[in-house]
Amino acid sequence: MQATFTAATPADVPLLLQMIGELAEFEKLAQAAVGTVAELHEGLFGITPKAEALLARLDGEAVGFALFFSNYSTFLCRPGLYLEDLYIRPAYRAQGIGRAFLQHIARLALARGCGRFEWSVLNWNASAIQFYQSMGAQPVTGWTVYRLDQTALEKFRDTN
């Protein structure tokens, strides 16, 4: 049985949000998953889409998703793809779906002229790290991710 990968449609948004909730549970971040169907719909299918989503299906059943967006490298002077989330439902893991999903996105990145394809992984997720390294991905050393969350953004905006 081989998975198929298709672009999400507006009708898929509730399913995507459900799987985002499943991912948040797995990552021990359920409290952070506060987005709504309307917000996800706007982000993926609004006037100016911010991201794209793909669904992995086996025999028509959704078994996972990937959500990614374009970025740009000033050094390469080329676009890239950033994979925000890749999720395969637990019953379907270790069957090659994740690898095939990443290969599908890699082909998409190359077809779009991208110079890189990047993502982040939680430090405690040893199985994902091993999986990524087995396919030739390397951690980017010397960089630390920084973030201003909503509260920090508002505070920073209002400081002199």
Question: Which residues are part of the catalytic machinery?
Answer: 132
* Pick from 21, 19, 16: nearest CA to 38: 16
Cβ-Cβ contacts under 8 Å for 121 (sequence gap 6 or more): 128, 129, 132
CB 34 within 8 A of CB 24: no
The tokens for 47 are: 């006037």
The Cα–Cα gap between 144 and 31 comes to: 24
CB 45 within 8 A of CB 11: no
